[in-house]
Amino acid sequence: MGDINVIELVLLAIATFIFAIDQFSLTEVLYRPMVACPIMGAILGDINTGLVVGGTYELMMVGNMPIGGAQPPNAVLGGVVAMIFAVKADMDVNAALGACMIFATFGQYIVTLVFSVASGLMAKADKAAAEANPKGITNVLNIHMLMLGSLFAVIAIVAYVGGTAASDTLNSLSENASWFMGGLSAAGGMMRFVGFAILLKIMLANDLWGYLLAGFAMALLFGGLESTASAALILVAFLGVALAINDFIQTKNIKENAGNGMGGMSDGI
């Protein structure tokens, strides 16, 4: 069984508390997996795993946005559990990401429950607004943030203790039931593409398909050459920026020329 580090436990609970209230009440930047997971990696003593989990989990969550009362799988709880499984239970990153989705979905119901309970505080907020009492409104918001953050912090503590205690069991499972862990790894590896596909479904226009396919082709070409493999992502990003700038300038020139009465049919000269 893994060792429980009290300092790690306390810092993880504090970080989760901040991530939880940041998701709905603050800057909405800290809670994103690509920021939160490296921070948790620093707390748990493995920043490299935090970067890998954060980058992969961000692709999974990038297209998931709350619409009205419908909440997507919670990015905060999913990231916490994925990091605990990957670092404390020594699970494969993809398997940890596959397993964390159960807890991320559970977090969706936790958020909905907290919002439902907090709706009872709206009468106090309405009263404070009618009385022009900003302090009363602030108190209502603070109570709501305290409820959400504390609940998430408790869940993080339970996940840390449970994940650390179950490390030997999970390792044994990976050896004796490799088909199960292989399935989790396959699911975790696949979900990053599903998340990106959801984003593309919202954003991708028909005239951008060429750029998308060209990006994949260039990534394969750069990644397949030893001299450029280590910087393949940066090189593709530079090409993307160059194409975006060129497209912007061309579109701007076309609009300006159309506004000046230029253009139209010509004899080709």
| CA 67/CA 89 separation, integer angstroms | 34
Mean pLDDT of the chain, nearest integer: 80
Q: Does the pLDDT at position 17 exceed 90? A: yes
Q: What type of residue is 43?
A: I
Q: Does the pLDDT at position 159 exceed 80? A: yes
Q: Mind listing the pLDDT tens digit for each residue in 246-266?
A: 888 988 888 887 766 555 555
**Partners of 107 in the beta sheet?**
none
Q: How far is CA 128 from CA 8, 118, 139, in A?
A: 40, 16, 10
Q: Mind listing the pLDDT tens digit for each residue in 175-202?
A: 665 656 566 666 666 666 666 676 677 6
- Read off the DSSP letter of residue 70: B
Judge whether 170 and 80 are in contact, CB under 8 Å.
no
| Candidate ranges 158-162, 175-179, 194-198, 204-208; pick with highest mean pLDDT | 158-162
Judge whether 181 and 95 are in contact, CB under 8 Å.
yes
User: Can you give the pLDDT at residue 268?
Assistant: 45
Q: Does the pLDDT at position 125 exceed 80? A: yes
Number of helices followed by number of strands (H, E) in the chain: 11, 0
Please tell me the pTM assigned to this model.
0.67
Angle, alpha carbons 184-188-193 (nearest 5°): 145
**Partners of 67 in the beta sheet?**
70
State percent of the chain over pLDDT 90: 12
Burial of 15 (0-12, 13-18, 19+ CB in 10 A): buried
Judge whether 25 and 141 are in contact, CB under 8 Å.
yes
Average pLDDT over residues 35-50: 92
Closest CA to 14 of 157, 161, 143: 157
Q: Does the pLDDT at position 14 exceed 90? A: yes
User: Can you give the pLDDT at residue 269?
Assistant: 45
Average pLDDT over residues 34-46: 91
